[in-house]
Structures are given as structure tokens and as C-alpha cells.
Amino acid sequence: MSTFSVKTKNDALWRPLYPFESRYVEIDGFQYHYVDEGPTEPDGVERPTLLMSHGNPTWSFVFRDVIKAFRGKYRTIAVDHIGCGLSEKPSIRKYPYSLDRRAEDLRKFVEKLDLKNVALIAHDWGGAVAMGTATRIPERFSKIVLMNTAAYLSDRVPKRIRLCHIPILKRIMLQGLNVFPRAATKMATEKGLSEEVKAGLLAPYDSWSNRIAVCEFVQDIPTSPRHRSYETLKTIQEKLPTLADKDIALIWGMEDWCFPPEIFMKKFQEYYPNAFVRELKGIGHYLTEDAPEETIAAIREFLEK
């Protein structure tokens, strides 16, 4: 076990919402945090292992209600990508913070734990990471749940995200002032967040050094063929059809300004025309915060159909 943990002045606010044992595995020398709840041995009924991949600027905390809802019946695992949540936060000199590396980290995690019959649940840029992994080891995955995400090249990058690509601004705004995570607690939700939830979402990103991943996650969104992750995302996109034999669900908060359904969900439907679809009306990008019960019900319906 590692000694990595998050300690903030608001620790007492959010910890009760996240009552899980922290586990760590070493991936290429870095401590990779995850929670692993629920039965690991079958009870006579074959069920998939649920594996959750978060985006930016969140962490496994965003899946806490999903974990609680399913851990009685399914093995539920939620990871923190390197630099995020309770995982190690190396400097950019030691870790590249690229899409390819993150997909490889998750691949190595799946193989180290020898996970099979995996039901992937991915949100935001965690979808690109997770689909990058799934296209590399498709035999490990049986079901895929995609929520307000993308895993292909797109010209549609919001101006407020493009601003974060400007070198001086990104360091001042994202690492210095923590603008991106703080803004997301307001802009990514239609119904608002409690102080406890805000504290939980912000807790791991409480200093300049602890916000490196937030900054680099935004920087890693390809905006031109010259971008470091352009070819990686292009390869993931080209391989998306190889996952068409899996059971796939698209569960979408329909008021999402970052991944609007008429662009991003529609694109996934072109790849997966037989996908299970649930449109959550009046719900924003943080659908697990705006509508946890509806999101969980949709996931349960998909898993048990």
C-alpha cells in the first residue's frame, strides 16, 4: 500500500461521500490509485467487472454513487489517472501526460489485475483514454458505456478550451489560479453542486504541483495534425469499428456545452447504430452529479438487458 493521500482543509467535508478503501498499483514506477469494491468471486451468475475512467478535471470521486449502487452485485473498479485524484502527481519532466501514455497505463492496469469480461464506463476525456485501451486489448472488454465523451478527431473545440492552450494563460489560469476545476463546478452542471461535492471535486488539485494533470489534460486535446496526440486519437478513431461487436451504451446529459449530443453522441451512433441510448433531458456535462439516479438506472438497464 502507498502512503499517497489527499489532505486539505475541506477533507472532512467530502470524505464521507467517498467511503472507499484506497488501493495502489505501480505502473512504470508511478503509484496508480484505484478503488475496488464488491465481489471478486462469482456467485453462480456471470457478471462483468465494471471499470470506470474519469475525465478532466475530475477523478474517481465523480463515480462514487455509481460504485455504491453496483458494488453489492458487481465488482466495481474506478481508477485515478496519473496526476489525478489520489494517484501520484509527477512533474512533466518525468511523465508525458499524453493520450497514448494514459491509454497504455490503463492497459497495463487491466492486465496487471488480469481483468476479463470488463464493462467499461467512461466520461469526458476518460472516454478517449479508455477507448484507446479497449482498442488495444478488445478481448478483455464485453460492454462499453460512454457518457458525454469523444474518442475521435473533431474540429469542435470550445473557445474556452482553446484559450487554455495558450502557454502563458494555461499556466496562470489552470495551474496558478485553478480556474478550470473551479469553473467546471458551475459550468458542467445544470442543477448546481453542494459544498461537499465541490470540495470533493477540487480536493486533489489544491496546489500548483498538484494541478499539473489538469493543465496537461486540457493541453492534450488535439487541435491540429501537428499536435502530439493527433496520431494517437486518429488511430483510436480508425479502430472504433473493431469494437462494434461489443454491447455499447450511450448515456448523455443533453445540456452539455462541451460534448453537445447533436455532434458527439450522433457521431458515436454512426459507429454504433445499434447502441443502447438514453438521453437525460435538462442534464449537464456532469451527469453523475446532476442526475445520479437516472444515470445509474440507465446503466443498470443496459447491464441487465
How high is the pLDDT of residue 224? 85
pLDDT in tens, 93-112: 999 999 999 999 999 999 99
Whether the per-residue pLDDT at 162 is higher than 60: the answer is no
Answer positive or negative: Cα dihedral of 247, 150, 127, 289.
negative
How much is the pLDDT for 17?
97
Say which residues have a Cβ less than 8 Å from residue 76's Cβ, sequence separation at least 6: 35, 36, 37, 38, 49, 50, 52, 66, 67, 70
User: pLDDT at residue 173 above 80?
Assistant: no
What pLDDT shows up at residue 219?
Answer: 81
Please check whether residue 53 lies inside any domain of the structure: yes
**Residue 3 is assigned to a structural domain of this protein:** no
Range of the domain at 212: 11-304
The total domain count for the chain is 1
Cis preceding-peptide flag for 57 (omega within 30 of 0): yes
Within a domain: 6: no
- Is 2 a domain residue? no
Summary mean pLDDT of the chain:
91
Between 50 and 12, residue with greater pLDDT? 50
**24 domain-assigned:** yes
* 4 within a domain of the structure (yes/no): no
What integer pLDDT is reported at residue 215 of this predicted model? 85
Q: Would you say residue 1 has pLDDT above 50?
A: no
pLDDT over 90 (residue 62): yes
Residue 8 has pLDDT above 80, yes or no: no
pLDDT digits (tens, 9 = 90+) for 197-249: 999 999 999 998 899 998 888 888 888 899 889 999 999 999 999 999 999 99
Domain assignment of residue 5, yes or no: no
276, part of any domain: yes
CB atoms within 10 A of CB 176: 12
> At 234, which CATH number?
3.40.50.1820
pLDDT digits (tens, 9 = 90+) for 15-60: 999 999 999 999 999 999 999 999 976 667 789 999 999 999 999 9
What would the mean pLDDT of 144-166 be, rounded to a whole number?
76
